[in-house]
Amino acid sequence: MARYTKAACRLCRREGVKLFLKGDRCYTEKCAVVRKGYPPGGYGQGRHKVTEYGLQLREKQKAAVITVF
């Protein structure tokens, strides 16, 4: 499995919760989840209807991210 070397705050924003991947920065007001409450990407600010499968997949991804870091 390859190691993720890109922006860790992007993963927090994708999940919508603080995953505390950046250590002390997540406890300050500079945390990306606090500053930007929407997912990353060009289409992140729109409202999307999430299916039941989508919710299960996000929980699975969240668990995978936490175990890797």
Domain definitions of the chain by residue range: 8-68
What are the pLDDT digits (tens) for 5-60? 888 888 888 888 888 888 888 898 888 888 988 888 887 787 788 899 999 999 99
In angstroms, the CA 69 to CA 67 distance is 6
Residue 1, pLDDT > 90, answer no
Tokens 């991804």 -> residue = 61
Residue 2, pLDDT > 80, answer no
The arrangement of secondary structure in 8-68, i.e. its CATH architecture, is Orthogonal Bundle (1.10)
Q: Using pLDDT thresholds of 50, 70 and 90, give the confidence band for residue 64.
A: confident
Report which secondary-structure segment, H or E, holds 60. helix 52-68
Residue 62, pLDDT > 80, answer yes
Quote the radius of gyration of the chain (alpha carbons, Å): 13
